[in-house]
Amino acid sequence: MADERFERTFVAIKPDAVNRGLVGDIISRFEKRGFKIIGMKLLHPTLEHAQKHYAEHVGKPFYNNLINFITEGPIVAMVLEGVNVIDISRKMMGTTDPQQAAPGTIRFDYAQIKECNVVHGSDSVESAEREIAIYFKPEELFDAKENDEDYFIRKYGHVEE
């Protein structure tokens, strides 16, 4: 029986973090936690991407700024897989407002203002599924078994003479 806590989430490293050269530092935090990256790409979100992604915020006062910001430059879009990855990755990111984020979280360490808070993460299984589908085709996601740190050693580690 599959572990119900094993899930996938969408994470975006936002344009401000890409511009500041923080991509490697942010990715390494998720990898060090043990989450597997099963999809990743650098892309410049289109208006269509942004509108689909932030559809739940239409009509809110910050919507236009959010759309303008996320389409300002490239993002790193990722799909992470792991046990309780949605909840844990959001805790790693910290609250939306970096001024309120706990020390040691990504937003506390790398962001200064709420409008440029370096990273996005899905807040539920449903949001993760919707957001993953906006940025990735199913064939662009890899099986976590092939992303296992020992996979290649087990497969190719023997020497034939």
DSSP per-residue codes, 109-149: HH-SBTTB-SEEE-SSHHHHHHHHHHH--GGGS--GGGGST
Contact 48, 160 (CB under 8 A): no
Catalytic residue flag (residue 158): no
Q: Catalytic residue, from 44, 49, 120, 158: name it.
A: 120
What span, in angstroms and rounded, lies between the C-alpha atoms of 101 and 91? 10
Residues marked active site are found at 120
